[in-house]
Amino acid sequence: MPTDLAIGIHDLSFSTTSLVLGHDELSRHNGTDIAKYHKGIGQRAMSVPTADEDIVTMAAAAAAPIVQRHTADRIRTLVLATETSIDQSKAAGIYVHSLLGLPPQVRVVEVKQACYGATAGLQFATALVHRDPAQQVLVIASDVSRYDLDSPGEATQGAAAAALLVSADPALIEIDRPSGLFTSDIMDFWRPNYRSTALVNGKESVTAYLEAVEGAWRDYNAQGGLPLEEFRAFCYHQPYTRMAFKAHRRLLEACGVQPDDAAVESAIAATTGYNETVGNSYTASMYLALAALLDSGSELTGQSLGLFSYGSGSVAEFLAGRLRPGYREHLRGDAHREAVSKRRAIDYGTYRELHERTLPTDGGWHDLPHQTQGPFRLAGLRDHQRIYETA
C-alpha cells in the first residue's frame, strides 16, 4: 500500500432547517442587550427545525447533492455522527441510506462523542480508503442543539448537517498526517438519556475547551506536525463564533506568540459566516466553519489549514488539511448561501411552541404537519416507528 496516497475530502455540502429565529427577536423577548449576542458571543440568528425536520431529514438533504454529483457507485460506508440520536439501537444513517436510495452493499454506523464525532468519522473514513483506495466513504454530521428556554445556552442553539465525501485523490482537501489528540474526563456539557435538552457548565466548558486546544496542539507538535507559521487559516468548532477567536488566542499563547488582534481576525474571521447565523450545530459546526472559509473567495490552493475539533466530556483533535489544485471548481457556495437565506423568519411565540413540542410516545399513528421546505421530511409515527418520505 503506497504511503504517499493522498486521501481527504472530495466534496462538502451542508443543509440546515426551514426556519430561523433572529437574535433581535430573542432579545426583545428576554430584554438582553443585542450587543451581547452580536458582539459578545458573535451570534445573529439560529436555525429552528419545523415539526417534520430532524437530524435524518437534514442529513439526507446535505448528502443528496453529493450523491447526485458523484453517484453512489463507490460509496461502501456511511458514517453518521450525531449527539441528537433518535434511537438507542438503530443508526439514524440507515434512514438516510434509504432516503438517498443507496445500494444494500453499504455499511452504516452511527458514532457519538459530543461535537467531536464527525472528526472521528473522518478519521475512520481515511483509514478505510487507505485500505481500499477504490472505495469512498460518506461521512455526515447532523445535529439539533437545544437548551432550556430562558437559559444561558438558549442563544447558542442551532441546527445543521454537513456531508463529506472522503476518497483517494480528493478534489478539495488532502488530510495530512499526523494529528494531535487530547482527552479529559470532565462534566462541562452533557445530556442524560432522560432529557431532551442539554446541561452545561458554561465557565467549565470554556476552560475545558481552551485546555483541549493547547493539549491537542502540543500532541500534534510532538507527533511532528507542521509549525504554526505553515498554516494559512484555522477552523475551530464554534459553539458560538467568538469561541473560535478565544481558541486561536490560546493556541498562539501556547506557541509563545503574543496574540495580535489583526492576526487573529485574519486567521478566523472568514470561518464564521455560516455559524453566526445558523447557530451551534454540534458535530457539523467545524465543517460549517470550513465551508464558510472555502466559500469566502480566498485563494487557498496549496495552503495548509488547521482544523480543531472539540467534543465536551471531552475529546479533541487537531489536524491539518491542504487545499488541492482546482478545489474552487468543486465548491457549493451558491447552494450553501441559498440554504441559509431561504429560511423563513419566525417570531418568538412560534419558536417557543416548536421548542416545547414533543413527539408522541404512545405508539399510536400520528401524522405530522407538512412544514419543511427541504427535500425530505418526517411524515409521522406508526407503532413507535418513524416514517420518512420525500417531501
Give the chain's largest Cα–Cα span: 61
**97, 237, 248, 336: which is the annotated catalytic residue?**
237
Nearest to 359 by CA among 49, 115, 141: 49
DSSP string, 41-94: I---EEEE--TT--HHHHHHHHHHHHHHHH-STTEEEEEEE-SS-S-SSS-HHH
**10, 53, 83, 110: which is the annotated catalytic residue?**
83
CB count in 10 Å sphere of residue 388: 19
Q: Is 295 helix (H, G, I), strand (E, B) or coil?
A: helix
Return the exposure string of 238-250: e unless at least 16 CB atoms fall within 10 Å of the residue's CB, then b.
bbbbbbbbbbbbb
CA–CA distances in Å: residue 306 to residues 173, 303, 330: 12, 10, 21
**23, 53, 115, 235: which is the annotated catalytic residue?**
115
Interatomic CA distance for residues 34 and 39, integer angstroms: 8
Q: Which 8-state DSSP code applies to residue 324?
A: P
Grid coordinates belonging to 344: 423563513
The runs of H, that is alpha helices, within 311-347 are: 333-341
Residue 83 annotated in active site: yes
* Residue in the structure block whose three cell numbers are 451570534: 43
Residue 355 annotated in active site: no
Distance from chain centroid for Cα 348 = 25
- Which pairs with CB-CB distance under 8 Å and at least 24 residues apart come from 347-354? 347/25, 348/21, 348/25, 348/26, 348/28, 348/29, 350/19, 351/19, 351/21, 351/25, 351/48, 352/149, 354/19, 354/48, 354/49, 354/50, 354/51
Residue 229 annotated in active site: no
Please give the single-letter amino acid code of residue 207: T
Q: Decide the pairing of beta strands 19-22 and 344-345.
A: parallel
Contact 198, 153 (CB under 8 A): yes
Residues with a known catalytic role: 83, 115, 237
